[in-house]
């Protein structure tokens, strides 16, 4: 017998304590596990507020810096996606590669940088995605490289297609002097459940306003160490951004079509 007590009161008490313990345990798991923790921003997703009383010039393409992540091995096959929208001398940004590419570098591709060494994060690297930490660090590296008259940093993959004029128009709705994290969920519901509904999926690209990118760049080291086991860079960054108190603003024009391999 589970409850060898004659006394009904004690039996009920024991059952209540057991049930309460189970409930507290479940609450604890959902509240403290970093994976679920970062997902909780779902309840606070910001509603876009068009910038009012602006006393600054309209946002244009020169205010936007693109931070692209790629690999040297795959650039030759991926570059066509990027070159379909990249306009040399008009779009500004840098492509971060894992190692130096063979020269000459095509003039039609974005200028590249080789990502800094990430071996010092070895003990924090339990990510399933191979380049997770290197890709997360693109925010810091691009901020350190280009930060003059920048309003927005747009982070993309090496196979993201951007309609540049549309993107600039959308970003222009927001006051870049505030903290904004603008992106979209995945179009695969399973991915949103697995990762987070509060996360901007990197495949579509997402935008960080200047002050947010700056705060991220300054805190990235601590952040990478705090989340050693999330799947990839966009989830690491979302968790860091949530810790800074900023939640995702959804823009439905950004589409991530997921490869169901995840
Ligand atoms: C963008 O706006 C700035 C003023 O903030 C201006 O100096 C620059 O020439 C503009 N660039 C383009 C391409 O319109
Ligand atoms: C970009 O500008 C430089 C000089 O400012 C020029 O030499 C180069 O041809 C331009 N590139 C393109 C693709 O227009
Ligand atoms: C801003 O960019 C310049 C290079 O243009 C760099 O020297 C400087 O360190 C950067 N500032 C920060 C705070 O990273």
Ligand 2 pocket test, candidate residues 83, 85, 89, 91, most atoms within 8 A of CB: 89
At residue 40, the pLDDT reads 45
Residue nearest to atom 4 of ligand 2 (CA): 89
Residue nearest to atom 5 of ligand 2 (CA): 89
- 73 CA from centroid of ligand 1 (Å): 36
At residue 6, the pLDDT reads 67
Classify residue 231 by burial, with Cβ atoms within 10 Å: 0-12, 13-18, 19+: middle
At residue 121, the pLDDT reads 86
Residue for token digits 């009383």?
53
Indicate if the alpha-carbon torsion angle 153, 156, 162, 166 is positive or negative. Answer: negative
Ligand 2 neighbours, Cβ below 6 Å, are 88-89, 107
At residue 41, the pLDDT reads 44
At residue 130, the pLDDT reads 83
Give the pLDDT means over successive 10-residue stretches in the chain (262 positions).
68 91 84 52 50 83 97 94 96 96 94 93 84 91 96 95 96 96 89 87 92 96 90 91 94 80 46
Rg of the Cα trace of the chain?
A: 22
- 55 CA from centroid of ligand 1 (Å): 15
Distance CA 88, CA 112 (A): 13
């Amino acid at each position: 017998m589970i409850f060898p007590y004659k006394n009904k009161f004690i039996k009920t008490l024991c059952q209540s304590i057991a049930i309460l313990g189970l409930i507290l345990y479940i609450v604890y798991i959902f509240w403290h596990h970093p994976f679920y923790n970062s997902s909780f921003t779902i309840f606070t997703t910001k509603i876009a507020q068009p910038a009012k009383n602006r006393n600054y010039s309209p946002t244009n393409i020169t205010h936007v810096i693109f931070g692209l992540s790629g690999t040297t091995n795959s650039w030759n096959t991926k570059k066509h996606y990027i070159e379909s929208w990249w306009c040399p001398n008009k779009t500004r940004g840098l492509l971060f590669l894992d190692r130096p590419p063979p020269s000459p570098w095509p003039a039609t591709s974005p200028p590249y940088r080789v990502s800094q060494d990430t071996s010092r994060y070895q003990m924090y690297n339990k990510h399933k995605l191979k380049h997770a930490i290197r890709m997360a660090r693109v925010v810091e590296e691009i901020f350190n490289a280009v930060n003059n008259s920048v309003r927005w940093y747009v982070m993309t993959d090496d196979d993201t297609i951007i309609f540049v004029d549309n993107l600039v128009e959308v970003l222009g709705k927001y006051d870049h002097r505030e903290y904004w994290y603008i992106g979209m969920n995945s179009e695969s519901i399973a991915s949103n459940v697995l990762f987070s509904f509060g996360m901007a999926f990197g495949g579509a690209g997402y935008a960080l306003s200047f002050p947010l990118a700056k705060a991220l760049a300054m805190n990235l080291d601590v952040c990478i160490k705090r989340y050693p086991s999330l799947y990839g860079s966009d989830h690491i960054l979302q968790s860091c951004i949530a810790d800074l108190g900023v939640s995702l603003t959804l823009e439905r024009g950004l589409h991530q079509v997921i490869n169901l391999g995840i």
